[in-house]
Amino acid sequence: MNQEKPDLPQLKEDLIAAIEVATSLDALDAVRVHALGKSGVITGLLKTLGGMAPEQRTEEAPKIQALRNDITGALAGKKAELEREELEARLATEKQDMTLPVRERPTGSVHPVGQVMDELAEIFADLGFAVATGPEIEDDWHNFTALNIPPSHPARAEHDTFYFGEDRTDEKGRPMMLRTHTSPVQIRTMTSQKPPIYIIAPGRTYRSDSDATHTPMFHQIEGLVIDRGITMGHLKWTLETFLKAFFERGDVTLRFRPGYFPFTEPSAEIDVGYSVDEKGRTVIGGAEKWMEVLGSGMVNRRVIEACGLDPDVWQGFAFGTGVDRLAMLKYGMDDLRAFFDGDLRWLRHYGFSAFDVPTLSGGVGA
């Protein structure tokens, strides 16, 4: 290659000088691009290494690489300095005078998910259910195995689980995870309380999934009853009573479809009847169309056994559903992602007054 030998010390001096005089992050970035960008001068020099004879390369490569490191370091140093200056300038100018009178009434609102959780707690408290909770970081046994989902079970694949790395494992060395459903609270309750058990467990759950109706974090509510002589009739009455109270309509119709969950046997998926009005809105009630709202079933004997209880004495039912979905249905929101954007306009529109405490006598959503 017939090229003039670049004057590296001069180039370094020029670049350092340009870095020094940069007075803004944008100007500094322009220097970075000029030196290290795709067609930057140093990048160009590094590219010439490939065409050199081996001896020449051994000699030139360290020099060019040293230049690159020096410039990278100088850029980083100057960047930190400019960022510090920018922050100080903002701190000096962005003052708030706390003695000024308030111009607007404070407009905080209760998020629809919080409101619906309170509504659910109110409805189930009236039926004699207590609220139970469990950790969001779960171990393999509570989230899967005790729920009759052993390691090789195909249901595990359907859960899109977020696992922790090797530094966060259970006592058997298996990775911990973000719970994929609220069902592990069934296990935690059965292993820590004596039956009879009547609980609901609302809370955050996580799956690696994201579109208009799925977010990686979402909310579920679990219900669990363990008592003597519990039948599917109790399950049916409880869910009917719950959904009528929740949707505040006496004409809520349910359809029980056979389903499959490893932790319930038999299992039923529950659809609620609805129609679409002339404005395209979903109206719950009737039996024109159906949508699935709940998973449920009789607690599997194996789950009762795993929790150290005798399944010949204790029976029960369980159900689970998405709280965000219930909120969307009841209050007419169509994009789940907006729930978690923290957009004040959305919150003002869909949020509830803090005084709007759900009560059964007032209609839970009144």
Footprint on residues 319-338 left by ligand PHE (CB under 6 A): 319-320
Choose one: 2-10, 86-94, 105-113, 291-299; the region binding ligand PHE (CB under 6 A).
291-299
CB atoms < 10 A from the CB of 153, how many? 14
Q: Does 181 bind ligand PHE (CB under 6 A)?
A: yes
Q: Under the criterion CB under 6 A, does residue 296 sit at the interface with ligand PHE? A: yes
Q: Which of 46-54, 120-128, 312-320, 339-347 is the region at the interface with ligand PHE (rule: CB under 6 A)?
A: 312-320
Give, as ranges, the residues between 211 and 230 that touch ligand PHE (CB under 6 A). Answer: 222
270-278: Cβ within 8 A, 24+ apart: 270/239, 270/294, 270/295, 270/296, 270/319, 272/243, 272/247
- How near is the Cβ of 366 to ligand PHE at its closest, in Å? 29
State how far the Cα of 210 lies from the Cα of 26, in Å rounded to an integer. Answer: 35
CB of 320 to ligand PHE, least distance (A): 3
- Is residue 143 a contact residue for ligand PHE (CB under 6 A)? no
148 is a site residue for ligand PHE (CB under 6 A)? no
**Quick one: which segment of 47-55, 117-125, 305-313, 314-322 binds ligand PHE (CB under 6 A)?**
314-322
134 binds ligand PHE (CB under 6 A): no
| CB-based burial label for 76 (10 Å; 0-12, 13-18, 19+) | exposed
How far apart CA 115 and CA 104 sit, in angstroms, is 24
Q: Which amino acid, residue 148?
A: N
* Residue 300 is a binding residue for ligand PHE (CB under 6 A): no
Interface residue with ligand PHE, options 199, 318, 327, 364 (CB under 6 A): 318
207 binds ligand PHE (CB under 6 A): no
Please say whether the beta carbons of 312 and 297 come within 8 A.
no
| Alpha carbon of residue 338 to chain centroid | 13
Is residue 295 involved in binding ligand PHE (CB under 6 A)? yes
Residue nearest to ligand PHE (CB): 320
Calpha distance 283→253 (Å, rounded): 12
Please tell me the distance from the alpha carbon of residue 54 to that of residue 59, in angstroms, as a whole number. Answer: 9
Contact residues for ligand PHE, defined by CB under 6 A = 181, 183, 222, 261, 264, 295-297, 318-320
